[in-house]
Amino acid sequence: MLDLVFLAFIAYVLVLGLRRPFLWVLLYVYIDILAPQRIGYSIIASLPVSLIAFAAAFGGWVALDRKSGGRFTPRQGLMLALLLYCGWTTGNADFPIDAQTKWDWVWKALLFAIFMHVTLTTRARIEGLALVLLLSIATIVIGTGMKTVLGGGGYENLKFLVNDNSGIYESSTLATVAIGLVPMLWWFVRYGTIFRPHWLVTGFAVALTFACLLVPIGTEARTGLLCIAALAGLMLRHTKRRFLFIAGAGLLGLAALPFLPQSYYDRMATLAEPGGDESASTRVAVWEWTLDYVAEKPLGGGFDAYLGNRFTYTIPVKQVDGNTTSVEYRQVVDEGRAYHSSFFEMLGEQGWPGLIMWLALHLLGLWHMERIQRRWRGAQDEATRWIAPLASALQMGAIIYLVGATFQGIAYQPVMLMLAGLQIGLHSYCRRIDSARGLLDRSSVRKDAITAKLRGAVAAR
């Protein structure tokens, strides 16, 4: 029955897209994030629904959609260069079979992020894509929050819509994405036109924000706690009453402490002593191995090059015997451990060229969003006052992503590449507005000059 519901919805949107092909772009975003083919049981799991939506989005734009307003940008060039470079490293990978498996989804994520911008030609389209992105994540987050409240949390124990710890359904990844989209959620509360500002919209935003904050608690993802701290720090910039905000956040945190399970305290405590945690010690050892690896292969080893690592590290092991606690230092031999950092993921797989392109892509986005905020901050009319706050929300989401990416291998996470596509779309939209205003101003100056000449000629007679 669940399969039929998903298939009916997908078929309905495909039919609607014959009149509005941009709906096929939104359909792909929904399928790529939520992955209904993994939620269903039989029929939908056997159909290539993601590929169908992917082809419809591209084909619909080529055959049916208008092409005005789209222009190639430097950030698209960076993504295209990264896509081509990843293709080259995949062909020369240390582990060709494993690299090909990762390449099969990475190229689609990069290509769609490149393509997104040409379809985001109006405010309605930018807002529509942002809303579908947000609500698709919200579908997973709401269920996660409910399970956490009902006592179903715990590290590697909390199950989402699918029983698969990969992609957006990986606990730390979901925690990062959920916290990163909170600023965009509150942008919709104030400036949304699809769902106009209303007390029901505000109530939903409050509940969803609470659910987003519950994700790091329910999953006990340490990265999620760092992302919450980053969100709080970023909000200080846009809060007028900073001391009141700090006091309120502190009181809220203290009020939540009695309701947190002991397992959460134990896991978060490892942030203060990373050397005593095997997972943290492994990460440091992998990072050191990666630096040695690229010293020999500066162009990287292709996707999943970490499978070739092998190292030895020492961790302290506490032994309690009655009232006596002793610490024994034990050597651990490990191999084939993942990078646990997007920065080292890019460095190990794509070498220095790939890391530079990836960093430039995201840093350029932060700079563009900062410029847009400063340019449009004082806008008061309905047509433009939404621009600066959206740029701020997208910038905050990107910074939170980079914080989370420091401790996770999510360099090619599709949601965050879509966020980059939204940034590119907003930047191009603002450039078109400025260009149109410049033409109007020049036209007005030319008209005034012609009028002055005519008046002078008349006066001379």
Model confidence, pTM: 0.86
Give the model's pLDDT for residue 319. Answer: 66
pLDDT in tens, 144-168: 888 777 765 555 555 667 766 677 8
For 223-290, the DSSP string reads: HHHHHHHHHHHHHHHT-S-HHHHHHHHHHHHHHHGGGS-HHHHHHHHTTT-GGG-HHHHHHHHHHHHH
Instruction: Tell me the average pLDDT of the chain.
Output: 83
In this predicted structure, the answer to whether residue 98 has a pLDDT above a threshold of 70 is: yes
- Residue pair 155/458 in contact (Cβ under 8 Å)? The answer is no
Which one is predicted more confidently, 331 or 202? Answer: 202
In this predicted structure, the answer to whether residue 442 has a pLDDT above a threshold of 80 is: no
**Among residues of the chain, what percentage have pLDDT more than 90?**
49
Give the model's pLDDT for residue 132. Answer: 95
Q: What is the 3-state secondary structure (H, E, C) of 8-53?
A: HHHHHHHHHCCCCCHHHHHHHHHHHHHCHHHHCCCCHHHCCHHHHH
- Torsion angles phi and psi, residue 2, rounded to 5: -65, -40
In this predicted structure, the answer to whether residue 258 has a pLDDT above a threshold of 60 is: no
Which one is predicted more confidently, 296 or 42? Answer: 296
Give the model's pLDDT for residue 76. Answer: 93
Q: Give the whole-angstrom CA distance, residue 46 versus residue 42.
A: 7
Q: Give the whole-angstrom CA distance, residue 110 versus residue 354.
A: 13
Q: At what angle do helices 222-237 and 171-180 cross, to 10 degrees?
A: 10
Give the model's pLDDT for residue 309. Answer: 85
Highest mean pLDDT, choosing among 64-68, 134-138, 337-341: 134-138
Helix (H) or strand (E) holding 100: helix 96-119
The pLDDT-based confidence of 457 (bands split at 50, 70, 90) is very low
The pLDDT-based confidence of 400 (bands split at 50, 70, 90) is very high
The pLDDT-based confidence of 324 (bands split at 50, 70, 90) is low
- Residue pair 331/312 in contact (Cβ under 8 Å)? The answer is yes
- Residue pair 317/276 in contact (Cβ under 8 Å)? The answer is no
